[in-house]
A and B are shown apart, each in its own frame.
Chain A
């Protein structure tokens, strides 16, 4: 067990290290000077430019040698200090991220969990009912084939602009201020629903299809044959099949995270939903490198944590992994 976790931790640490370095490296190794870009937005007099540049460079640390900047970066990371944002100067990056994160998590976590669970159930059901299969399969493929941006545009158009059922943008009504009142919370949910539905639908199809294929395979496996031959009920056979099919799906979940996050970002931007996605979009628009870097690190950490959780879940669910670590006897 220890070796397993040690190995996994090593990979996580390495990933974090690589991710962070890449994150830091790109802006600093790319041609162009962020401070210069920043200042180019202001119409400065040539005389005012030089001293302002000097001050800004000092403030953002770009006047130091690269290696120093790198070390400062790591030091800041450990302190939890991700720098100051350019786009929303002088807010700290960390603050901005923590403000937007809850919205994103509220969107991401239910969408992932629900699409996974519901998709698996549906897929398993479709595996044994031919009638259901004939509708679920093409539908699942259709959803799998749908690009995130399109769903994120078409749905609010249908349900929002055309039929006025749901709002098409924002996190909550413009006239409200965040508080614990029902008015605010209901507005929150109201605005949350369409983005959630978008992320949910696209993932759902894929899980359903994958599970369907897996369950079909399991239902014809030697295990199922033997269980049936010994008079096991179809229910028992199905239960075994479902259980065995869930394992690969679980490891697939870990790999899917990167993509869902991408899709989530796209959705948030389309809906102007005030989560990390929108923050990224604004950061790009204002070329706020520090904000971008901060968000990237944050996401990488999130993905690593999620992977870790899934690894533990897999350990619990699959006895083979558990026991192969303890050197099972054969």
Chain B
């Protein structure tokens, strides 16, 4: 099973015009792959992830297709998507802390959701209990109300609920951002374990934290200002990044063993462009140390080495050489 996204564009309607945080994005996630989707705040990664499961509010599908397991996902058609949610595609949201209904016990939430999919609670009760235990929670969590649980517990409950029906694709949106470091690791490992056990097939893990991705992801996709910058295996991205943006990102991470009274952390000067009325051409141009006149035309997202995609004139050229 795999997910293929082809030239997907999603826009937000605003009073001042359309903003396009997802601009002709194409990539593939392989079977049982955890793909990390990384980038700065506002680069469109959350929009991309959420658009695969629920287009809501002011989001509009402008074009492109999503093919899951050979069948096209009707992401623009809410009614057609409904039976597919939770079963084929599922989401662990960024707002998991406040996603659970405070006036319903956890078990009741599960029952209600399952009923919407025509699944009897009794048939998955045993499995649900097993998974709750698997994530390290006490079984009586099912009989508690969400407000009785801590943030970390809620995150885990949401993880279990979202994957209860073994979806083919799981979109995990910033699931570690609100947690402390040790819990982050625990949740990251849980994600991997879920994948091992086949509770989920493929995962798109959205985060701005590259270090977590380095631990859990098989491949990493870097996004910048609504467009894809680079995609490759985790090792490649971490050790041999090609795109200037990725390079700068990796370089700005603190290293173990390096004392920063000797060296300073390197940031990336400048700010991402506003997504409205973007200038044509590469969006990283203004902040890129390798920019040249060629960059006035948007470089295509091409496969320069097997499994390694880059959208940059300069580095693509270098890599091909």
| Residues of A bordering B, CB below 8 Å | 220-223, 225-233, 236, 240, 243-244, 247, 318-320, 323, 328-330
Contacts and interface: CB of A to CB of B under 8 A. Distances in A.
Q: 8 smallest A-B Cβ distances: which pairs?
A: A231-B85, A226-B99, A222-B95, A231-B86, A222-B98, A230-B86, A229-B54, A229-B91
A314 B113 CA distance: 26
A252 B98 CA distance: 24
Contact of B150 (A228, A319, A323, A330): A330
Contacts of A247: 103
B113 A228 contact: no
16 contacts: A222-B95, A223-B99, A223-B102, A226-B95, A227-B101, A230-B85, A230-B113, A230-B161, A231-B86, A231-B117, A232-B112, A232-B116, A240-B104, A319-B103, A328-B147, A328-B148
A226 B101 CA distance: 9
A14 B307 CA distance: 75
A222 B112 contact: no
A218 to B, nearest CB: 10
B221 interface: no
A320 B117 CA distance: 29
A319 B104 CA distance: 8
Nearest to B85: A231
A240 B101 contact: yes
Given A244-B103, A323-B145, A232 B113 contact: yes
Contacts of A236: 112-113, 116
A232 B118 CA distance: 11
Interface of B: 50, 53-54, 56-57, 82-87, 90-91, 93, 95-96, 98-104, 112-113, 116-117, 145, 147-150, 158, 161-162
A219 to B, nearest CB: 11
A249 B96 CA distance: 26
A320 B158 CA distance: 20
A225 B57 CA distance: 10
A244 B103 CA distance: 7
B204 to A, nearest CB: 14
Nearest to B96: A226
A233 B83 CA distance: 9
A230 B117 CA distance: 10
Given A222-B98, A223-B98, 19 more contacts: A222-B93, A225-B54, A225-B93, A225-B95, A226-B91, A226-B96, A226-B158, A228-B85, A229-B50, A229-B53, A229-B90, A231-B84, A231-B113, A240-B101, A318-B103, A320-B145, A328-B148, A329-B148, A330-B149
B93 A229 contact: yes
Nearest to A241: B101
B145 A228 contact: no
Contacts of B147: 320, 323, 328
A56 to B, nearest CB: 60
A158 B103 CA distance: 46
B152 to A, nearest CB: 11
Contacts of B84: 231
Contacts of A330: 148-150
Most chain B beta-carbon contacts within 10 A, residue among A220, A226, A232, A233: A226
A329 B50 CA distance: 33
A329 B147 CA distance: 9
Contacts of A221: 98
Given A225-B54, A231-B116, A329-B148, A244 B101 contact: yes
A194 B147 CA distance: 46
Contacts of A229: 50, 53-54, 85, 90-91, 93
Most chain A beta-carbon contacts within 10 A, residue among B83, B103, B104: B103
A230 B95 contact: no
A328 B145 CA distance: 10
A329 B83 CA distance: 36
A250 to B, nearest CB: 12
A231 B78 CA distance: 10
Contacts of B53: 229
